[in-house]
Amino acid sequence: MGVLLGIMPWNFPYYQVARFAGPNLIIGNTVLLKHAPQCPESAAAMEQIFRDAGVHEDAYINIYATNDQVSKLIADPRVQGISLTGSGRAGAAVAEQAGRHLKKVVLELGGSDPFLVLGTDDMDAVVEAAVTARMDNAGQACNAGKRFIVVDGLYDEFLTKFTAAVTGMQYGDPSAEDTAYGPLSSALAADRLEQQVKQAVADGAELVGGERDGNFVRGGVLTNVQPGNSAYGQELFGPIAQVYKAADEADAIRLANDTEYGLGSYVFTNDPEQATRVADQIEAGMVFVNCVAADGVELPFGGIKASGFGRELGRYGMEEFVNKKLIRINA
C-alpha cells in the first residue's frame, strides 16, 4: 500500500511496535511510528534496532508528534493506512479522522477478557494460569484475564486459592529477583485504578487486598460485582481481579459476553467437547483453551465489539495493509 502510520502505546513499548512494523516492512510498506509520550527513549531505541538490522533509514521513521500533528498526518495523501493500539477514545478519534479521508484502519483497543473455569482435575494449575493471566505487567495489558467466571461447584476452592496467590505477590523494584511485579505506569494510572476500586466497593462489591502504596498497588480481588456496579462494565488496568460465580455453563457464557469488549478470552475445562462448544459461543476475537500467554507471531491478534477491528500478526495481520489486486488477462 505504501506509507503507514503506527500509533503505539506505552505498556509494551518494544513488542507492540515490532508486531506492527515487522510484518509490514517485510511485505513492502514503510512505517511512520508515533509512540506514546511516556516512552521516548524506547521509541528512539526501537528505531535504532531497525537501523542496526539493516532497514533503510526512510523505511522506518520514529516521530514525536502532538495529537494535532497526528491529525495532519492522517489527512496527508501519502499516508495510506493507520494502525492504533490504545484506548477506545483514541481509537474512535483516529477512526473518525481516517474515515473522512477514506483510509484503512486497524484498531487494537481495550479489553475486559473473561477467564472461564468450567472443569478441572488440577485446581492449582488453573489458579497458577489465572494469576499469570491477571498479573502480567502488573495487570496493565489489554488482553489480560480480568473477569474470572467460575462455575458454582469450583467457585469456593478457586476463590480461596486465587485470592491468596494474588494478594501474596511481592511488588517492588522490577529489576530485583524477588519482585513479582512493578509499579503502575504513572501516578495518574494509579489514581484512576484507585478511584475505580473505591467506587466499586461503594457500589456494593467486596474487596480483598488492593491497597495502594505510591504508584504500587497490591494485588486485589473484587467479588459480588453486580450489574449496575460501576466496575461491572469497566476495564481495570492494573492488578485487580473480579471473580464471579456462575450457576452453570450457560450462565458462565452469559457473564463472559455481558460486556462491550471482545478482545481475548480463556476457557479452562477438562471436557474437550465443552471446550469447543463454549469457545464457539464466546464473543471475542481470540479464545485460548487451557492455556495463557499462548499468543505468537504466527497467530492473528485482535478483537471485536469495543475492542476494535482488524488483525495484527499471522497471515491475517500481514494482509491488512496490502492491495489485493486482480489482474485478468484475456489470452
Q: How would you classify the pairing of strands 266-268 and 113-117?
A: parallel
Active site residues: 108, 142
- Cell 486485589: give the residue: 220
CB hemisphere CA count around 185 (13 angstroms): 19
Name the residue type at position 296.
G
Question: What does the DSSP 8-state code read for residue 178?
Answer: T
Name the residue type at position 17.
V
Rounded to whole angstroms, the Cα distance separating 289 from 278 reads 10
Rounded to whole angstroms, the Cα distance separating 13 from 18 reads 9
Rounded to whole angstroms, the Cα distance separating 3 from 18 reads 16
Q: Counting beta carbons within 10 angstroms of the beta carbon of residue 85, is it exposed (0 to 12), middle (13 to 18) or buried (19 or more)?
A: buried
Rounded to whole angstroms, the Cα distance separating 315 from 319 reads 6
Rounded to whole angstroms, the Cα distance separating 101 from 78 reads 11
Rounded to whole angstroms, the Cα distance separating 192 from 318 reads 35
Rounded to whole angstroms, the Cα distance separating 50 from 61 reads 10
